Amino acid sequence: MTARDAQAPFLPGATIGMVGGGQLGRMFALEARRMGYRLIVLDPGEDTPAAQFCDGHIRAPFEDLDACLELARRSDLVTLEWENADVATLREMERIVPVRPGPAVLEVAQHRVREKETARSLGVLTADFRPVRTRADLDEALREVGTPAILKTARMGYDGKGQATIRTAAEADAAWEAVAAQGDEFILEARVPFQMEVSVVCARSVNGETACFPVAENEHRNGILHLTRCPARIPAGAAEQALSVARTLAEGLGVIGLLAVEMFVDPQGRILMNEIAPRPHNSGHHTLEACGVSQFEQQLRAVCGLPLGSPALLRPAAMVNLMGEDAGTGLDRPGVVDALAVPETALHLYGKGSARPGRKMGHLTSLADDADTAAERAMRAWTAMAGGG
């Protein structure tokens, strides 16, 4: 049997294995099924959002080697919707089948110190930071970085979890107590005064082709993304910087698939990288309605070695998350009638059977002639959904 050409495309009819079965996997599955691909998902959940649209569901923990190897054997290639998959297990899977993006990318994305050190080695600006392992390390880091600062776990933690703000040195004890039990490696980051947070989703294919979606502007509530508008309200020069940062990181890391890059725009208009995620991103959901290709189809194209689609913005857009406290599961909500009466508005529900505060249950996207009008429409639809229960 001859070896497969590493750059040969995986054509429709191929089976794609997906590590992770959440809403990102669900939206990927919908795009992949539309284009004729088969999917198998690995996820410990019983009725995960992605599994509802896949040809098979291997229900097992992400670190279950036997289950992961079964996924590899049943797939032509493997991709992921969750960057905290077990790297050692992915390396074993890679002996059987291409894994895109590869484990080496995840090793960087899963560790905040390594993430920022890598960015700086590629010439990308970040906030000042110091690695922290002990309480004494934290005091030393505070002397060097200053306050205000944020203490974060080096691994895991998302949507504001696993971190504590230190406004003055007197708050160091409380911050340490808040995060110390959540890991054994930490990072202290200077709190950046910034005009806004922006993000870019960049695709990179097997042959090194890259394509970036336009810069999006993000607003958070309680550490969780609430509203995204695109295009971001920043000067053209700052937008070019943000796109350049995303391309630099995608190329430097050798990503095959997507790389989402969260960044700050500081008061001087400089772009500072905050975090990366080698997968589709919440701030890219508007691409389903607003762009020449969605981020999920672009992920499919990239990992399968197909030509990348045009990420051009066809209409300004805004996306707002629907959380458990906003709309429950989204089912049987009378407010959906008023929400969908808002012009050029689309509703996406994720098929999660139970809701809780802080859990993402769906999103709304609105289009308009400009991003501000789109944001006003999205918020009007969100208010209708949230208030219609």
Does residue 341 carry a pLDDT above 70?
yes
Does residue 289 carry a pLDDT above 90?
yes
In a 3-state reduction of DSSP, which class is residue 52? helix
User: Measured between alpha carbons, how far is 268 from 41 in angstroms, rounded to an integer?
Assistant: 45
Does residue 380 carry a pLDDT above 70?
yes
CA dihedral of 342, 346, 352, 353, whole degrees rounded to 10: 50
Average the pLDDT over 32-41 and give the result: 97
Does residue 103 carry a pLDDT above 80?
yes
Does residue 288 carry a pLDDT above 60?
yes
114-162 tens-digit pLDDT: 999 999 999 999 999 999 998 899 889 999 988 899 999 988 765 556 7
Res 83: pLDDT: 82
Does residue 53 carry a pLDDT above 80?
yes
Q: What residues form DSSP beta bridges with 221?
A: 224
Does residue 44 carry a pLDDT above 70?
yes
What percent of the chain is modeled with pLDDT above 90?
79
Contact 148, 191 (CB under 8 A): yes
Does residue 355 carry a pLDDT above 60?
yes
First CA to last CA across the chain, in angstroms? 60
Does residue 16 carry a pLDDT above 90?
yes
Res 76: pLDDT: 98
Mean pLDDT (the chain) is 93
In a 3-state reduction of DSSP, which class is residue 251? helix
Whether residue 148 has a cis bond before it, omega within 30° of 0: yes
38-42 vs 15-19, strand pairing mode:
parallel
Q: What are phi and psi of 220, to 5 degrees?
A: -115, 155
* More confident site: 1 or 35: 35
237-270 tens-digit pLDDT: 999 999 999 999 999 999 999 999 999 999 888 9
Range with lowest mean pLDDT among 6-10, 17-21, 242-246: 6-10
In a 3-state reduction of DSSP, which class is residue 53? helix
Task: Count Cβ atoms below 10 Å from residue 41 Cβ, excluding itself.
Answer: 30
Whether residue 101 has a cis bond before it, omega within 30° of 0: yes
pLDDT band at 194 (very low <50, low <70, confident <90, very high): confident
pLDDT band at 85 (very low <50, low <70, confident <90, very high): confident
Res 262: pLDDT: 97
Does residue 303 carry a pLDDT above 50?
yes
Res 147: pLDDT: 87
